[in-house]
């Protein structure tokens, strides 16, 4: 199965920049979006063969997630299950017979780490939620996770140390998540590669490839041997992020935890 994830930084603007052409050419089984910046009814997408699931922030023009899928889920859940964290449209969970798919737009800690406390509460709640799901069946977790985990994951680690997205606190929480039984799929396949999925709109950053890898597919460890391909689609424009891809074999029975 082919999974795509893309922070579109405003879906209506991205549609004007060719989103639908990219969507159809990628032909994914699951296409997850972050930062849709939309309220219900603001855009109608004609996507034959796909079911659409949307989760909007209460604040207009802010955050928001969506999933378009060829496969009807058993259930759909919005939010992480903590009231104070579930007003910004940040997490959609689709349940299937053999796995859960989570689409996430992780809160940005903001300049000066002004929102780091909220971010830490989110990280702890999300990790516990994923562990609960993983105890039932394996998890495929994707999205803009707003963290470059290691120095190899951004162009200028020394000058960004302590900044939002590369603070010790955020990097530590991602390490905690992996230690809880999950795998960063792209890094698993490309242990020494430096490729990026986000570039600032300033200073011609994308043209110079001064970027960060902050968009991920993370899976339960027991799905590692089923990973077939991972890609960062740097050739695709339309946002300050590019899509990331996971191809994984889910055809055979999956061993659940005891």
Tens digit of each residue's pLDDT (9 = 90 or more) over 217-248: 999 999 999 999 999 999 999 999 999 999 99
Helices 116-134, 168-179: inter-axial angle, 10-degree rounding: 10
- What is the distance between the alpha carbons of residues 116 and 111, in angstroms, rounded to a whole number? 10
The catalytic residue positions are 105, 144
Would you place residue 160 in the very low, low, confident or very high pLDDT band (cuts 50, 70, 90)? very high
Coil, helix or strand at residue 173: helix
Check pLDDT > 70 for residue 258: no
- What is the distance between the alpha carbons of residues 18 and 65, in angstroms, rounded to a whole number? 19
Phi, psi of 224, deg, nearest 5: -55, -45
Mean pLDDT, rounded, for 168-187? 98
Mean pLDDT, rounded, for 151-155? 98
Q: Percentage of the chain surpassing pLDDT 90? A: 95
Chain mean pLDDT for the chain:
97
Nearest-CA neighbor of 143 among 103, 170, 176? 103
């Amino acid at each position: 199965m082919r999974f795509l994830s893309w922070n579109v930084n405003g879906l209506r603007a991205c549609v004007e920049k060719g989103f639908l052409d990219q969507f159809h050419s990628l032909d994914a089984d699951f296409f997850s979006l972050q930062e849709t910046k939309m309220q219900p009814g603001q855009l109608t997408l004609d996507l034959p063969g796909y079911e659409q699931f949307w989760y909007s922030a209460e604040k207009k023009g802010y955050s928001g997630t969506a999933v378009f899928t060829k496969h009807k889920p058993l259930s759909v859940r919005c939010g992480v299950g903590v009231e104070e964290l579930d007003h910004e449209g940040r997490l959609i969970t689709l349940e299937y017979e053999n796995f859960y798919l989570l689409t996430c737009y992780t809160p940005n800690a903001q300049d000066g780490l002004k929102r780091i406390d909220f971010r830490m509460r989110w990280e702890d709640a999300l990790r516990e939620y994923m562990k609960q799901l993983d105890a039932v069946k394996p998890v495929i977790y994707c999205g803009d996770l707003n963290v470059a985990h290691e120095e190899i994951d951004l162009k200028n680690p020394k000058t960004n140390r302590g900044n939002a997205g590369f603070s010790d606190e955020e990097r530590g929480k991602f390490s905690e998540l992996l230690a809880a039984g999950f795998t960063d799929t792209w890094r698993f396949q490309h242990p020494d590669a430096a490729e990026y999925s986000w570039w600032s709109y300033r200073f011609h950053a994308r043209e110079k490839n001064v970027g960060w890898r902050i968009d991920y597919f993370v899976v339960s460890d027991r799905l590692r041997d089923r990973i077939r391909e991972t890609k960062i689609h740097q050739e695709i424009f339309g946002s300050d992020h590019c899509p990331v891809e996971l191809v994984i074999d889910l055809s055979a029975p999956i061993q659940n935890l005891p």
